[in-house]
A and B are shown apart, each in its own frame.
Chain A
Amino acid sequence: MVDDLLLISPLLIVTVMGLVSLLVGVFAPAGSFKGWLAFLTSFGFLAALGACYMLWHETSAGAAFSSQSFHYSLTLDHFGLALCGVILLGALLATLTAVHYLPAQKSDHAEYYALIAFSALGMMIMVMAADLLTLFVALEVMSISIYILAGFKRDSSFSTESAMKYFILGSFASAILLLGISFTYGATGTISMREIGLAVAGGDAHSELALFGMVMLIVAFGFKIAAAPFHMWTPDVYEGAPASVTGFMAVGVKAAGFGALARLLLTCFGAPEYRDGSAVSWETLIVILAVISMCAGNLMALAQKNLKRMLAYSAIAHTGYLLMALLVVPASSDGEQALNALGGGLVFYLLAYTLANVAAFGVAAAVGARGVEDAGEEAYAGLAGRDPMLAFALTIAMLSLLGIPLTAGFMGKLTLFGELLSSGGGEYLWLVVVAVVNSVVSAYYYLRVVMVAYMQDESAEKPIALLKSAPLRVAVGVAAILTLVFGIMPNKAINASTRAGYSLVHTSNPATYGARVSAAKPAITSTVEPKDVAHR
């Protein structure tokens, strides 16, 4: 029991930090500076990162909890831990950008840090969830916190409106997710992902119901990860929400959504007929979503004048690239090797994406903090002269998102595209070509930001004051430096994410995982009859 609490220590640390921030908010005098709570929360995130690091070395691939403490609702594997690390890193850096940004926006409330912690908690549980109920509750913990955060600037109609739009579409997506869970449950009679996978693979599932459930689940996740054509909310929410929130939302929700989607699809619908067999395979759906997301995101980003809005469309395009990572698995005949590829592509790409976006939104927070809310391109004019360090960080972020060598984004794209090419025997060559062409197109809008920052002069009539904030500069600087470090020396990170993918082999493959666990503990074999469950 105590061992199991140690195994979930990252979750516990983040929960406690959230509760502490909430309590402090009650007792701290109104109107006082709450920025110091950011350091407390950041310390919590750091501690949780440390706990993840410890657990990474403690667990062999796919450790199970030692007793029935959590009723098998969580999976602790390297895949989950790696994504927890990415989420915590994003949360840590995004929290630091908020310290002076929130007072400048006249919305310095202690609840901010509590909500960041709770949404990070939801994200972490999402990537560790082993049954569909846990997945749903975690997703709601994340989503509801993010709805509130998006509307955190209460006296701004932009912020409130973006929160309302996000809320309406988000709760609609939650309902669709529930419908998917419900029909998957109806098809198999269980909500445990592993047992669903066994039932589906063994042919015990009602195939039409399962197929309907699968499609609904993919649609719902499409909303959450901002895949076109379910992306309508993204530009408005990214633009309207406070920049520090957008930075967190862009990276955290995406990492959590992709982690949960990968685990869900591979565990529940890993059977060949749902991949490339007779039925409508999820592979087909993912290919369609990937192509539409890449093309639509890039084309619409071309016309954007507002950095936050442009990054929203860029997020849609990156969803397209990331979806390709899910295809690496089924395309290969050798399961274990293919899943290595998934880890290398997905986790490392998410890491690179997280760092670049944190840096970009950090700069957006510094530029947009005073007065101008929907700062257009002109706000960044002459940034290099006003603040060389921020301009340099923005440049690195843009180059990484674009995928220029020596940045993490380049290594991410290289790994991802290369693995997709080598694993499918050239089956997805056309998809890689589409992705590369899209990357080239994206150079236009990424480099334009850099050009504006370096080439144009500051507008003389209404100069925009930058936010002076040491924590923000630290966060942006760390993100930019890590982007370079992972771009120049990616080996360790790629090895780690490869290992993460490898652990997903065991935890997602119902045959190996079920067999391994049942050998040790007969109580949770997958052959539990529905009757037994009912009587327990």
Chain B
Amino acid sequence: MTPLLASMSQTAIPLSWYLAVALILFAIGTIGVLTRRNALVVLMSVEILLNAVNLTFLAFARHHDNMDGHVVTFFVIAVAAAEAAVGLALVLGIFRHNRSVNVDSMTALRN
């Protein structure tokens, strides 16, 4: 570690701040998934959730000074891309049937 980096890490923002930001982001994403009616906005909220988790992984990786968290983050980014691809395709499928991407319009299955 170079002296510059060492001095930076001494004055670095403490771990709990990163975790607080991540948990706030996670809460925002959760509220988005649960309350928003537009399927596309729900997909965006899921992305916020995943990025909130990425932030915690990076903060913990930095805290523990090992690479596991960084590696996980890369995998999460890749998986999020795959999920988004499937999610957008499903939104298109829903739109072809309902002419709407409102999740409230999905009422075919209900008893």
Contact = CB atoms under 8 A, between A and B. Distances in A.
Contact of B65 (A154, A158, A530): A530
Given A144-B82, A164-B90, A165-B106, A182 B57 contact: yes
A179 B76 CA distance: 11
A175 B109 contact: no
Nearest to A176: B49
A164 B49 CA distance: 18
Interface string B63-106: 11111110110011001001100110011011011100001001
Nearest to A237: B109
A372 to B, nearest CB: 14
B8 to A, nearest CB: 17
Decide if the interface of chain B is mainly helix, strand, loop or mixed. helix
B83 A171 contact: yes
A216 to B, nearest CB: 10
Contacts of A157: 97-98, 108
B53 A182 contact: yes
B42 A168 contact: yes
Nearest to A180: B53
A54 B87 CA distance: 39
Contacts of B33: 168, 172
Nearest to B83: A171
B93 A154 contact: yes
A185 B57 contact: yes
A363 B71 CA distance: 45
A137 B60 CA distance: 20
Contacts of B82: 140, 144
Contacts of B97: 157, 160-161
Interface in A130-152: 132-133, 136-137, 140, 144, 147-148, 151
A492 to B, nearest CB: 40
Interface in B25-60: 26, 29-30, 33, 39, 42, 46, 49-50, 52-53, 56-57, 59-60
Given A136-B75, A171-B87, A186 B63 contact: yes
Given A160-B93, A161-B108, A172-B49, A178 B65 contact: no
Contacts of B93: 151, 154, 160, 163-164
Nearest to A140: B79
A162 B91 CA distance: 12
Nearest to A530: B66
Contact of B56 (A137, A164, A167, A183): A183
* Most chain B Cβ neighbours within 10 Å, of A157, A167, A182, A191: A182
Name which of B29, B42, B50, B83 has the most chain A CB atoms within 10 A of its CB: B83
A57 interface: no
Contacts of A531: 65-66
Contact of A160 (B26, B69, B90): B90
Interface residues of A, number: 45
A239 interface: yes
A178 B90 contact: no
B11 interface: no
Contacts of A140: 79, 82-83
A190 interface: yes
B111 to A, nearest CB: 7
A424 interface: no
A504 B52 CA distance: 34
A175 B53 contact: yes
Given A148-B86, A168-B42, A171-B46, A178 B76 contact: yes
B109 A236 contact: yes
Nearest to B29: A175
A391 B103 CA distance: 38
B99 to A, nearest CB: 11
Given A160-B94, A164-B93, A171-B83, 6 more contacts: A164-B94, A168-B42, A172-B30, A174-B50, A179-B26, A182-B72
Interface of B: 19, 26, 29-30, 33, 39, 42, 46, 49-50, 52-53, 56-57, 59-60, 63-69, 71-72, 75-76, 79, 82-83, 86-87, 90-91, 93-94, 96-98, 103, 106, 108-111
The 4 closest A-B CB pairs, nearest first, are: A175-B49, A189-B64, A186-B60, A157-B97
